[in-house]
Amino acid sequence: MCCNLSTYVEYSCSHRILQQTQYLDCNRWDCRLSKYHNHDNAEHDCKNNCAQELLEDRHLTVDWQHRPCTPCRVLAPTNGVNA
């Protein structure tokens, strides 16, 4: 079933920063929200036989950085970095 997928980048300070949120279409004909939903317009009991709602949002970490996130670097700059 369709859902919104949020992807994150995780930093060494263990903060996760949202990268993007995208809509994931499940491509099922029996999901009311899918673009493939009942594409031949067959009569059917949509309410009972088709999924009607989005699944819970999914959160996925797709990238790991070996450095603190930007807010952490601003708040606590590493020693030796003198701009």
Q: How far is the CB of 6 from Zn ion (least distance, A)?
A: 17
Q: How far is the CB of 21 from Zn ion (least distance, A)?
A: 16
Footprint of Zn ion (CB under 5 A): 1-2, 13, 15, 26, 31, 33-34, 38, 46, 50, 68-69, 72
CB atoms within 10 A of CB 26: 18
Query: Among residues 6 and 38, whose Cβ is nearest to Zn ion?
Result: 38
Diameter of the chain measured on Cα atoms:
70
Tell me the backbone φ, ψ of residue 27, rounded to 5 degrees. 60, 30
Q: How far is the CB of 25 from Zn ion (least distance, A)?
A: 6
Helix or strand holding residue 48 (H, E): helix 46-49
